[in-house]
Structure 1
Amino acid sequence: MSVMDRRLQLLLDEQRYALVQTEAERSGRSVAAVIREAIDYRFLGADDRGANLRVWLDLTAEPSGPAVDWSEIKAGIEEDLAGPRR
């Protein structure tokens, strides 16, 4: 994990803070960790990394079975687990 070497003061309205605090409590993380994750999601392409999970969830809803080769899905998941793309 990288060393945190920048401090940021951030002002939020009550509604935004409540959202972040609720997620922090739900997930057992700090408010700062939730905000860092949101930044990663927006700027490091987490939307793309979540695509493999969405494909898998869609496939499990099909009673006929997966239409995509499992090895392709597995490779994508392993790539996602390797960490954020920079």
Structure 2
Amino acid sequence: MSVNSEICDKLHKILFYEFGVSEEDVSVESILIGGILDDGYEVFELVLSVEKEYEIGIADSLITEKTTFGDLVKIVENEL
């Protein structure tokens, strides 16, 4: 999967500064809910931060229990 490295870097920074998740703990295949973050509420907070950072809206239906970090990068890329 090819992901936008600029978006990827910015999302890594959000994960680190807001949730204490280091870049080494995240790959494009990492599941958001129960993988990178503990629960759906933290993922909700992440999505809000991403929406604010990029001034976009992300539909709730795009984030599921199987959404990966790579998926989130692609979602952001598609919304820009």
Instruction: Please confirm whether the aligned pair reaches a TM-score higher than 0.5, indicating the same fold.
Output: no
Structure number with bigger Rg = 1
- Superposition TM-score, scaled by structure 1 size: 0.27
Higher relative contact order (CA 8 A, sep 6+): 2
